[in-house]
Amino acid sequence: MKTSGGSDAAKRRAGESAAAEVTDGDVVGLGTGSTAAHAIRRIGERVDAGLDVRGVPTSFASRELAADQEIPLVDLDRAIGPDAPGIDLAIDGADQVVTAAAGDAERAGASADPVNALVKGGGAAHAREKLVDAAADRFLVVADPAKETPVLDRAVPVEVLPAGRSVVAEAVRSAGGEPMLRAAERKDGPVVTDNGNLVFDCAFGAIADPTALSTTLSATPGIVEHGLFVDLADEIHVGTETDVRVVTR
Ligand SMILES: O=C(CO)[C@H](O)[C@H](O)COP(=O)(O)O
């Protein structure tokens, strides 16, 4: 599994804090990445102890981990609809998250109410993650302090239809970004997502207006989904070396 950010202990605290929010009967969106994996493992322990939940995986990796933990699963298609249960909460990681805590020093004079924005997609799972996280009644982000920032400036992952690669690259450049095709680590060639698409990591520098950039990317033909998650998170569980700080949005 790909990991980024801070210590595993901090990630575990964040994941376990969010997993404690799951209650009997819930349908839970199961995020992707090393921090969300801690939440999935803790939910698995609770299922073993009698908790009645169903999980909606966001990726091949989260499905495999949840199945290993013997968490009953339901497809997103079966979770959403007129006679479907819905998703009570989703727990998912992030590559960058704007929090006031990260900006206390840097933000002198800036608004005390930070924009509710994340960068996700370090594991190339952001298309399904956004489907599940946005469909949930509550979306809990699990992170560590290394993910916190006053302004998003990490390259934004963009999942692209293979046939639209050049068209999308030009559109990203027109929007002020520099697209870099994500290469696979143990294969000659690009990363191919769970949906059979390619990923551009698009460097925009500091993203002053994540909402505007999100709107632009969403409107670009050939982009299946991008990793800017704006106004979706309800809580950020930030694990530290000693405890957990919960930021409510
Ligand atoms: O968006 C993601 C996968 O697409 C992950 O949630 C994100 O990359 C964080 O991963 P980790 O918890 O391993 O740092």
Q: Which residue intervals of the chain bear CATH 3.30.70.260?
A: 156-225
pLDDT of residue 100: 79
Tokens 């929007």 sit at which residue?
175
- The atom number, within ligand 1, closest to the CA of 11 reads 12
Architecture of domain 8-150+229-248: 3-Layer(aba) Sandwich (3.40)
CB of 60 within 8 A of CB of 67? no
In the predicted model, what is the mean pLDDT of residues 174-196?
97
pLDDT at residue 110 tops 50: no
CATH of 156-225, one of 3.40.50.2300, 3.30.70.260, 3.30.450.40, 3.40.50.280: 3.30.70.260
pLDDT of residue 104: 58
pLDDT at residue 103 tops 70: no
> Does residue 92 line the site of ligand 1, with CB under 6 A?
yes
Question: 208: closest CA among 228, 236, 182?
Answer: 228
With the most atoms of ligand 1 within 8 angstroms of its CB, the residue from 17, 34, 226 to mutate is 34
Distance, in Å, from the CA atom of 199 to the CA atom of 194, rounded to the nearest integer, reads 11
In the predicted model, what is the mean pLDDT of residues 1-24?
89
pLDDT at residue 40 tops 90: yes
In the predicted model, what is the mean pLDDT of residues 219-242?
97
> Does residue 13 line the site of ligand 1, with CB under 6 A?
no
In the predicted model, what is the mean pLDDT of residues 208-213?
96
> Does residue 34 line the site of ligand 1, with CB under 6 A?
yes
Q: What is the pTM of this model?
A: 0.94
pLDDT at residue 199 tops 60: yes
Q: Which residue intervals of the chain bear CATH 3.40.50.1360?
A: 8-150+229-248
